[in-house]
Amino acid sequence: VGTSLMDKAESWAHEVEIQRLELTVIENNERALALYKKMGYSIEGKRTNSIKIGDRFVNELYMGKII
């Protein structure tokens, strides 16, 4: 399902002539991170302790892809 959604978003981006896609993901979300890497995104930056979930702070990764 994730791959299909990402493919649809990229197809739409091509149609409207968007040349770059960006996203953020929580660093410990291994399944999402693997999907984004498979789709050609690369890690461009990291915000340390940027999001608080429950009583813990987690890191957020910035990812991007030129299409």
- Please list the rounded mean pLDDT of every run of 10 residues in the chain (67 residues): 93 96 97 96 98 97 97
Query: What is residue 6's predicted lDDT score, i.e. its pLDDT?
Result: 94
Query: What is residue 32's predicted lDDT score, i.e. its pLDDT?
Result: 96
Please indicate, yes or no, whether the overall pTM of this predicted structure exceeds 0.75. Answer: yes
Q: What are phi and psi of 29, to 5 degrees?
A: -85, 80
What tokens does 24 get?
């953020």
Identify the residue whose tokens are 């968007």. Answer: 18
**Residue 9 in contact with residue 22, Cβ under 8 Å?**
no
Query: What is residue 16's predicted lDDT score, i.e. its pLDDT?
Result: 97
Query: What is residue 61's predicted lDDT score, i.e. its pLDDT?
Result: 98
